[in-house]
Amino acid sequence: MISLEGRVALVTGAAAGIGFGIATILARAGARIAINDIDAAAATAAAERIGGGAFAVPGNVAVEAEARAMIAAVLEAAGCLDILVNNAGVPQPISGLTSFPVDEWQRVLDVNLRGTFVMSQAAAREMIERSQGTIINISSVTGLAAIPGSHAYGVSKAGVAMLTQTLASELAPHNIRVNAVAPGVIAAPMLAKMGVDADRVAHIERRVPMGRLGQPDEIGHAVAFLASDLSSYTTGAVLPVDGGWLSFSGVGSPPARTA
Ligand SMILES: NC(=O)c1ccc[n+]([C@@H]2O[C@H](COP(=O)([O-])OP(=O)(O)OC[C@H]3O[C@@H](n4cnc5c(N)ncnc54)[C@H](O)[C@@H]3O)[C@@H](O)[C@H]2O)c1
């Protein structure tokens, strides 16, 4: 049984979607939750829904001063920070190389990769002092295997996977573990932001060996394991939670159920 009793966890981008699912599962395991989101009102509403002493720490993860302020706010409200989940992320419009708007490159890299870096840096200052802590980053299958037209997003998520391994190596002597989860396609508001409609969902479901999208809670369960002492010898891992997406490299769809 996973227990995070007495731990304090900060989850970024947690007002909706996967982040809210992660925060809910960590709270159920006993952690006190700090909800970050760039949308302050939505962060406050999410903290109220989660309850159990959850509180909001709004801000933009890509801005260093705001990252430092968020960690300071968690320390003031809860006294310590045991778990950081770098979940905040933005999608990009899937577009051909020659028509890709170059300004999008920086916007996506700033939130997804720089945001993960500056939040980890700010949190590690506190964790190193206590020789204790765990960081879980949200990468993506798109960072591990290419999707044509997903330039900035795929590169940002590949960067998150490498940053995970880099920080795991560097912080292990401080008793800080750093791991990542690489979700497949998950039912969250981001899909609508990318213009994924019902037809596209059906197409994706045919591509997934398990035949369905994942749910935010299923990412939350993997994060809870990586945050807990049950994974005490695991660091630098990038765990796909993808219904088999990365395992299948055949042509067309995986075989339908036969029996
Ligand atoms: N949904 C998927 O299929 C999928 C698949 C793989 C990986 N991911 C990753 O999972 C994470 C969560 O995705 P989601 O689908 O729940 O997205 P979402 O768009 O549904 O939610 C993301 C949340 O992050 C917040 N946010 C955006 N920019 C921020 C910033 N600069 N600072 C703080 N908060 C910010 C948004 O306000 C939003 O509440 C992202 O990193 C995403 O790249 C999602």
pLDDT digits (tens, 9 = 90+) for 233-249: 999 999 999 999 999 99
**Residue 259 pLDDT more than 70?**
no
Summary mean pLDDT of the chain: 96
Which residues touch 87 (CB under 8 Å, ≥6 apart)? 11, 12, 13, 14, 18, 19, 22, 138
- Per-residue confidence (pLDDT) for residue 258, from 0 to 100: 64
pTM of the model: 0.98
- Per-residue confidence (pLDDT) for residue 93, from 0 to 100: 85
User: Confidence class of residue 251 from pLDDT cuts 50, 70 and 90?
Assistant: confident
pLDDT, mean of residues 16-42:
98
CA–CA separation, 241 and 64 (whole Å): 30
Active site residue 233: no
Take atom 30 of ligand 1 and give the residue whose Cα is closest. 60
**Residue 164 pLDDT more than 70?**
yes
Which of these is catalytic: 117, 153, 225, 245?
153
Count CB neighbours of 183 within 10 A. Answer: 25
pLDDT digits (tens, 9 = 90+) for 182-237: 999 999 998 988 889 999 999 999 999 999 999 999 999 999 999 999 999 999 99
Burial 225-246 (b: 16+ CB within 10 A, else e): bbbbeebeeebbbbbbbbbebe
User: What percent of the chain lies above the pLDDT cut of 70?
Assistant: 99
- Per-residue confidence (pLDDT) for residue 193, from 0 to 100: 86
Ligand 1 binding pocket (C-beta < 6 A) is: 12-13, 15-19, 36-39, 60-62, 87-90, 111, 115, 138, 140, 183, 185-186, 188-191, 193
pLDDT, mean of residues 34-55:
98
Atom of ligand 1 minimally distant from the CA of 39 = 37
Take atom 13 of ligand 1 and give the residue whose Cα is closest. 18
**Helices 64-78 & 115-130, crossing angle to 10 degrees?**
40
User: Confidence class of residue 13 from pLDDT cuts 50, 70 and 90?
Assistant: very high
pLDDT digits (tens, 9 = 90+) for 67-122: 999 999 999 999 999 999 999 999 998 889 999 999 999 999 999 999 999 999 99
Pocket test for ligand 1, best of 138, 190, 191, 207 (most atoms within 8 A of CB): 190
Atom of ligand 1 minimally distant from the CA of 214 = 3
What separation in Å is there between the alpha carbon of 190 and the centre of ligand 1? 6
The listed CATH number (3.40.50.720, 1.10.10.10, 3.40.50.300, 3.40.50.150) that belongs to domain 8-239: 3.40.50.720
Atom of ligand 1 minimally distant from the CA of 63 = 31
What separation in Å is there between the alpha carbon of 255 and the centre of ligand 1? 31
